[in-house]
Amino acid sequence: MDPGTLAGIGLAFGAIFASMILEGGSPASIMLIPPIVLVFGGTLGAAMAGGMLKDFLGIVGSFQRVFLGKAVASDSLVDNIVKLAEKARREGLLALEDEAENVEDPFIKKGISLVVDGTDPELVKDILESDLDAMEARHSQQASLFQNAGGFAPTLGIIGTVMGLVHVLENLSDPNSLGPAISTAFIATFYGVASANLYYLPIGNKLKKITHEEVHSRTMIIEGIVSIQAGDNPRVVEEKLKTFLDPAERAALEGGGDQGDDGLAKAA
């Protein structure tokens, strides 16, 4: 689990509440039910109206990906694919059938199954790329939902402020209540701007980042599966996959490989 999103949102709201306390205010003063209902309820309704219902119902899955999803370890992914290439090189492609049962990644398992079934190499690549495109489109819709909500929230906050000011103007006969009523009216704007910039937009950006990493990893998997089916040398497969890694990941992979070789040499 990547704690960055949860920690970042907590830090942002914590900074706001801390600044209120330092200025002599109280966070309890903004905990008002009407603006909360208006901004958050109105934003969700607007986001639902601007998209498809199935996308909105998938919001729970989006939260799981943002807050509970695991980061993809590209170096270990390379290592796993190279091991499959070595087994296929030694025992043939059909030997991967039993190996597929131990593979956790469903995308790799699907690719191996297609290869073992004797599917044409071009067709294997086309099927996996179509699967990748569908995943990217599906995840992009979820990110767009939060991006759109980030655009609606400030406007809903302004609507809440206007409604509050209308209520203020209706009670001009009571000057003593004007100050508190006006301050209460602007709380809706606070919720609208804060929720957009500290919640909806960050989550939307995180979903886009996660999708980018998943596309990158699956593209690497496709390259590995195609190379295995073509009968490439495992060392060649490894070098192809290393091109997908950033310098730090490549150094970690090569360092791990060097240590493993040293260990084997010492054992011998």
- Angle at which helices 187-195 and 178-185 cross, to 10°: 20
Q: Return the pLDDT at 71.
A: 67
Determine the straight-line distance between the first and last CA of the chain, rounded to whole angstroms: 39
Q: Return the pLDDT at 256.
A: 56
Q: Return the pLDDT at 200.
A: 92
Q: Which two tokens stand for residue 2?
A: 């990547």
Q: Which two tokens stand for residue 65?
A: 């990906």
Q: How far is CA 193 from CA 10, 204, 250, in A?
A: 16, 15, 41
Q: What are phi and psi of 262, to 5 degrees?
A: -60, -40
Q: Return the pLDDT at 102.
A: 79
Predicted confidence pLDDT, tens digits, the chain (268 residues): 567 888 888 999 999 999 989 988 888 888 889 899 999 999 999 988 887 777 777 777 787 788 876 767 777 888 889 989 998 888 888 888 887 777 888 899 999 999 988 889 999 999 999 999 999 998 888 899 999 999 999 999 999 999 988 888 877 777 777 777 888 889 999 999 999 999 999 999 999 998 998 999 999 999 999 999 998 999 999 899 988 888 877 777 777 544 444 433 333 3
The three-point CA angle 198-209-215 to 5° equals: 160
For residues 257 and 241, the answer to whether their CB atoms sit within 8 Å is: no
Q: Return the pLDDT at 268.
A: 30
Q: Return the pLDDT at 158.
A: 94
Q: Return the pLDDT at 1.
A: 58
